[in-house]
Structure 1
Amino acid sequence: MSDRSLRRNDDKISAAILQTTESLFSKYGVENVSMHQIAKTANVGQGTMYRRYANKGDLCMDLMKDHFQDLQDSVRRFLESAESLSVKERLLAVFQELIQFMEKHMHLFETIQSSPIIRCEHTKTTFYKSPPYVFMHSVIASLLEEAIRSETARPVDADFTAHMLMASINPKVYIFLKKEKGYTTDEIIKKFSTTFLEPLFIE
């Protein structure tokens, strides 16, 4: 078998493992799914499984990488097609994408955060230096800088403000607002815009 064929086969196996993992995590919760169960359901051998993923933390990280890549691609496509919109409209749309992303994958965020054992913290890269966070921060800061240059936004520190905006709607906060406070996703988006975004802009 050629190297290309081997890589293609490896990719198919990894994709099957990740698809099975997310399905099982969503149905039973991370804590209640074993590596053996994932391998058996994905129809791969234990050795094959552990060569790719040493533990559920590794699986979790790969799942989130794939999902975050989808989010980044979606944000890029939107920004490329939305140049005619105001910065305020684009900024709100980016946060809508982020909040909808958290809603779609809330079960995974929730189980990761609720288990001190499975927190995916074995990675040496801190969350704030991770590619997904750096990407989203860069997008938000760039939009704020554009608004400041055009004098449609107040002269805030774009870098600092982008960090604070992201911190205000992180997955832990989102899950709390949904589960404990009973807000709908649409209500969270609307209140986030009213509380944090609109005051930045000059009417």
Structure 2
Amino acid sequence: MNHARQRHTRTERRDAAENRQRILDAALKLFEQHGVEQVSMNQIAIEAGIGPGTLYRRYGNKSELCMDLIKDNIVLLFEDIEAYLEEHQDEPPSQRLKGILTIFIAFREKKLQLLAGVEEVSPANKSQSRTPSPVYDELHEIISKLFREMTVNELTEPDNVFRTDILLMALKKDFYVFQRDVRGYSPESFLEQLCLTFFPQTQKDKP
């Protein structure tokens, strides 16, 4: 590669990095002011001072943009979950699952808007609406494994994949905020209701 091409490539990379940072800064500012749901991709492009095409080349929808904003926090979330599971590996599966839900609900409270954005599917991507986000995909694997450990009788207990799907739906923004703001459950009482609903004390967990 000649020197002129090297300089051109470095300039392109620098421009792309600067555009990405402008987009993220603009999106975070607008999300904090108005909430993720109320902000359009065009508003983000205008705030960032770039064309819509530049924005859509980097992010296909708000969900992808929110994922970029929150991805470092999500890495830390799953590191916390893994550390918790390792530290409490001798506890019954119901207790380990309660611990994971405690960690996730605290994360949900702290990152409510951005996590909601990760869950959101833009109108242009309705065909993907049944596809789980990477966050919930990874959680599904962890939770369904714990449900399998709790299973005493497969013939009389719910399917573990189905049970995990329903539990994850209960953890998403719309249901969680409704229970918190309309029903009046605190994060702690919400957690207790989840535990009572999805995994009351099982024979397998009893000494």
TM-score normalized by structure 1?
Answer: 0.70
Q: Distance in 2 between matches of 1:169 and 1:32?
A: 21
Distance apart, 1:138 and its partner CA: 1.0
The count of aligned residue pairs is: 191
8 A Cα contact 1:30 1:112, kept in partner: no
> Structure 1's 69 and 146: CA in aligned 2 closer, same or farther, altered over 3 A?
farther
8 A Cα contact 1:26 1:108, kept in partner: no
> 1:71-150 counterparts in 2 under 5 A?
71=74, 73-80=76-83, 82-85=85-88, 86=91, 87-107=93-113, 120-123=122-125, 124-148=127-151
> Structure 1's 32 and 188: CA in aligned 2 closer, same or farther, altered over 3 A?
closer
Partner of 1:188: 190
Q: Distance in 1 between matches of 2:195 and 2:205?
A: 14
> Structure 1's 34 and 79: CA in aligned 2 closer, same or farther, altered over 3 A?
closer
8 A Cα contact 1:21 1:59, kept in partner: no
Distance apart, 1:140 and its partner CA: 0.8
Q: Distance in 2 between matches of 1:176 and 1:50?
A: 36
Unaligned runs of 5+ in 2: 1-6
8 A Cα contact 1:25 1:33, kept in partner: yes
Q: 1:46 aligns with which of 22, 46, 50?
A: 50
Mean Cα deviation higher: 136-145 or 120-129? 120-129
Partner of 1:158: 160
8 A Cα contact 2:140 2:164, kept in partner: yes
Of all paired residues, the percent bearing the same amino acid is 24
Which of the two has higher C-alpha Rg? 2
Residue 28 (str. 1) matches residue 30 (str. 2): no
Cα root mean square deviation, aligned? 3.6
Q: Distance in 2 between matches of 1:128 and 1:185?
A: 27
Unaligned runs of 5+ in 1: none
